Amino acid sequence: MSFIVIIPARFESSRLPGKPLKEINGYPMIEWTWKQTQKSGAERIIIATESLEVQTVCQAFGAEVCLTGSHHQSGTERIAEVIEKTGLLDTDIIVNVQGDEPMLPPELIHQVAEGLQANEFISMATLCESIDSVETVFDPHAVKVSRNLNNLAINFSRAPLPWSRDTFLKESKTLPENWAYKRHIGLYAYRAGFVKQYVAWPECDLEQVEKLEQLRVLWHGDSILVLDAFCDAGVGVDTQEDLEIVRKLLA
């Protein structure tokens, strides 16, 4: 199986400025992520950034880098520019690995690419994992996903959806016995041709409200395959607190 990994690495993160270059035990975060993708079986790995500083650091440790504009609103939009600049074929399978995932197992990168390849009529593939605490269900930073019988996404939300009427109205909230909540893992696979279609669509209302770019796909009637991850996805870095946790885990 052939696939290409593109790693969007935006320097001007709102919650953690300079995030790709944050040091983790002697190496920048983006290098940890890049090294994980090298073990995935990808035929090519490209780091996409708007920052000359990030470009310089990444080239120093041997990565291929594509310098992009600073105007992009999402990682997928940044990837579209890379596709155009590098002349990738419409049929090429692209895996979008976020630059702030230094612990992401390479097995999951391969899994999402394989899932897309096995379903030629599906526009996008992604992963999810089980939620085992009611606190996570109510955490807006944990994106919940609902699927149909064919593992196709019905909805993504930061809210506790679906709402468990019988358990969430109680003073002491617990997980319902009749529904297994799933947390979305922000790892995507799509074909290069679909990425071009995606960026041609305007930002949809749901996407603007939830700040979740994958909702644009459902809004326009395309399907997203959501597979159960083979293993734990590790800890991503959104905040300084996350960074400290990852530093300890990777020590």
> Do residues 55 and 49 make contact, with C-beta atoms less than 8 angstroms apart?
yes
Percent helix, strand, coil in the chain (nearest 5)?
35, 20, 45
Distance CA 9, CA 238 (A): 13
Full domain range(s) for residue 85? 4-249
Domain count for the chain, please give it: 1
**Is the Cα dihedral 62, 64, 69, 70 positive or negative?**
negative
CATH number at residue 78: 3.90.550.10
* Distances 29 to 178, 227, 238, 245 between C-alpha atoms, Å: 40, 27, 12, 13
Largest pairwise CA distance in the chain: 56
> What is the full per-residue pLDDT of the chain (251 aa) written as tens digits?
899 999 999 988 777 889 999 999 999 999 999 999 999 999 999 999 999 999 999 999 999 999 998 888 788 999 999 999 999 999 999 999 999 999 999 999 999 999 999 998 898 999 999 999 999 999 998 999 999 999 999 999 999 999 999 899 887 889 999 999 999 999 999 999 999 999 999 999 999 999 999 999 999 999 999 999 999 998 888 889 999 999 999 98
Task: For residue 134, give the amino acid letter.
Answer: V
Q: Give the integer Cα–Cα distance in Å for 43 and 54.
A: 22
The pTM (predicted TM-score) of the whole model is 0.92
